[in-house]
Amino acid sequence: MNHWAIYLNNDSNKKGFIKDFQHGKIPTALKEFALKNGKLFSHFTLEKLIDEEDKHDIKIISNEGQALKTMSSGEQKRALLHHLLNENPDYIILDNPFDNLDVAFQKKLKTILEAHSESISFIQLASRKSDTLSFINNYGLIEKDKFSVMDSSPSNENKIPNSFTTISIPKSGIEFANLPDTLVDFKSVSISYGEKKILNNINWSINKGDFWQLSGTNGSGKSTILSMIFGDNPKAYGQEIYLFGSKKGSGESVWDIKKKIGYYAPAMTDKFSGRHSIENMLISGLNDSVGLYTRPTEFQQRIIKQWLALLDLTSIKNTYFNKLSTGKQRLIMTARAMVKQPPLLILDEPTAGMDDESAALLVALVNKFAVETDTAIIFVSHRKEKGLKPKRTLNLIPSEQGSTGLIQ
Ligand SMILES: Nc1ncnc2c1ncn2[C@@H]1O[C@H](COP(=O)(O)OP(=O)(O)OP(=O)(O)O)[C@@H](O)[C@H]1O
């Protein structure tokens, strides 16, 4: 039985490859799959199913009747795999299958895939070489639109630009006045959805300049916690949650809170599909602008010039954002959340779907930002992100009574 690992890098046109594959435009080396029944395990499939569930008000993938869109990302992947295996395919394309999965479920997924590898071929599209499944016996690479066969799995080599050591994080010139030392304070916070208990007695204080990693298994409540800080989750009202000194729900506007937070989650990248230059994208981070075309001041232009130099992007500053590789887009979106040096920076699984090289670059940038600025950081990640240097971790430990928080 043939199995493939096909590696992706910053410039790979993964979407194009998948589309071509599904329409029978298959590289010669993989021709054996041409007439077979294949399925796609990917967030693209999930998005389509969520849409269909919404449109027709049905549950296609039933998990005790819970709608797919309300499941945590791990629960969604679990349900999708189950659904696809039930359809007895000849092969399954696995699109970065381990992204967004906690370590325990990654292990479980590996075991499930191993068990099926005798009867189903797997084509694993992988951005991280370390994700390669044990039973893989063929290797390939997608560079831009071109597929090529490789003899073996490639070696890891990460390059961090020199500018990271020679250039400091540029000062934003923006002052955030009257901030208390404790920026976020959760006091005995417990949350349920109906009968389902999600969080149990969470106490968490985030002080100025802290660097936290928020971790926990799939469904343990990480997104729920974030939505109570950054979002407008109605569950937050009535709880003892203090943001920048005010009790949540005590009259402050969502906008007042959002102004003080830099936020990045990979799903945001898709919202910027228009033609914005890299330079404009970064400037928009200083302006809090939704529209991107507020004319920047000279001072702002100077700051962004420094950022471009730091990120080694000066030579391509006028390139349209939507023309860039995923890795570069994510690096820029992360920097965009950083440029105004907000009191609090939230990075929600920022490295999901990135290749090794761009993930290492992003981690290096976050570490540098943590050391050189007063911004408090919450970095959400399932992976033990190689090289990341958080000072503390809030680990959510699930139980029947909801997750409790273990601070390490
Ligand atoms: N609106 C909702 N209705 C019912 N259950 C919900 C709703 N929103 C979230 N949940 C449940 O709350 C639990 C916590 O979800 P949450 O998304 O916060 O977890 P998570 O730790 O971020 O998971 P992941 O790492 O997989 O994204 C999950 O079991 C999820 O199914």
CATH number for position 89: 3.40.50.300
Q: What is the pLDDT of residue 39?
A: 94
Please compute the mean of the pLDDT values over residues 259-276 and round it to a whole number: 82
Q: What is the pLDDT of residue 218?
A: 85
Ligand 1 neighbour 96 (Cβ under 6 A): no
Same domain, 168 and 142: no
Q: Pocket of ligand 1, candidates 53, 64, 70: which has the most ligand atoms within 8 Å of its Cβ, to mutate?
A: 70
Measured in Å, residue 98 CA sits from the centre of ligand 1 at: 18
Measured in Å, residue 224 CA sits from the centre of ligand 1 at: 7
Q: Could you tell me the pLDDT band of residue 252, with boundaries at 50, 70 and 90? A: confident
Give yes or no for residue 59 having a pLDDT over 80: no
- Going from the C-alpha of 336 to that of each of 94, 154, 161, 287, the distances in angstroms are 31, 32, 19, 10
Q: Which residue has the higher pLDDT, 5 or 178?
A: 5
Please compute the mean of the pLDDT values over residues 327-340 and round it to a whole number: 92
| pLDDT 10s digits, 216-248 | 988 899 999 999 998 778 888 889 999 999 888
Measured in Å, residue 47 CA sits from the centre of ligand 1 at: 17
Ligand 1 neighbour 299 (Cβ under 6 A): no
Q: Is residue 167 part of a domain?
A: yes
Measured in Å, residue 220 CA sits from the centre of ligand 1 at: 7
Same domain, 141 and 171: no
| pLDDT 10s digits, 390-402 | 999 999 999 999 9
Q: What is the pLDDT of residue 160?
A: 79
Alpha helix stretches (DSSP H) within 222-355:
222-229, 254-259, 278-287, 298-310, 326-338
Q: What is the pLDDT of residue 243?
A: 93
Q: Whose CA is nearest to atom 31 of ligand 1?
A: 71
Q: Is residue 188 part of a domain?
A: no
Same domain, 110 and 168: no
Q: Whose CA is nearest to atom 17 of ligand 1?
A: 72
Q: What is the pLDDT of residue 293?
A: 59
Same domain, 123 and 61: yes
Asked if 144 and 25 touch (Cβ cutoff 8 Å), the reply is no
Ligand 1 neighbour 218 (Cβ under 6 A): yes
Give yes or no for residue 292 having a pLDDT over 60: no
Measured in Å, residue 399 CA sits from the centre of ligand 1 at: 14
Q: Is residue 196 part of a domain?
A: no
Q: Is residue 197 part of a domain?
A: no
Same domain, 120 and 43: yes
Cα separation, 360 vs 389, in Å, equals 12
Ligand 1 neighbour 75 (Cβ under 6 A): yes
Q: Could you tell me the pLDDT band of residue 62, with boundaries at 50, 70 and 90? A: low
C-alpha dihedral, 18 to 24 to 25 to 31, nearest 10°: 100
Q: Is residue 156 part of a domain?
A: no
Q: Is residue 199 part of a domain?
A: no
Same domain, 172 and 59: no
Ligand 1 neighbour 71 (Cβ under 6 A): yes
Same domain, 216 and 347: yes
Q: What is the pLDDT of residue 206?
A: 97
Range of the domain at 134: 4-150
Q: Whose CA is nearest to atom 26 of ligand 1?
A: 218
Q: Is residue 379 part of a domain?
A: yes
Same domain, 37 and 107: yes
Same domain, 227 and 98: no
DSSP, collapsed to helix, strand or coil, labels residue 236 as: helix
Q: Whose CA is nearest to atom 8 of ligand 1?
A: 70
Q: What is the pLDDT of residue 256?
A: 83
| pLDDT 10s digits, 92-139 | 999 999 888 888 888 889 999 999 999 999 999 998 888 899 899 999
Measured in Å, residue 203 CA sits from the centre of ligand 1 at: 19
Same domain, 145 and 264: no
Q: Is residue 270 part of a domain?
A: yes
Ligand 1 neighbour 222 (Cβ under 6 A): yes
Ligand 1 neighbour 70 (Cβ under 6 A): yes
Ligand 1 neighbour 73 (Cβ under 6 A): yes
Please report, rounded to a whole number, the percentage of residues in the chain having pLDDT higher than 90. Answer: 49
Q: Pocket of ligand 1, candidates 61, 80, 224: which has the most ligand atoms within 8 Å of its Cβ, to mutate?
A: 224
Q: What is the CA radius of gyration of the chain?
A: 22
Atom of ligand 1 nearest to the CA of 220: 21
C-alpha dihedral, 379 to 288 to 321 to 374, nearest 10°: -40
Same domain, 332 and 394: yes
Please compute the mean of the pLDDT values over residues 303-321 and round it to a whole number: 91
Residue 331: φ, ψ to 5°: -60, -45
Q: Could you tell me the pLDDT band of residue 53, with boundaries at 50, 70 and 90? A: confident
Total number of domains in the chain = 2
| pLDDT 10s digits, 200-212 | 999 999 999 999 9
Domain termination site, one of 100, 115, 150: 150
Same domain, 391 and 262: yes
> pTM (2 decimals)?
0.76
Ligand 1 neighbour 220 (Cβ under 6 A): yes
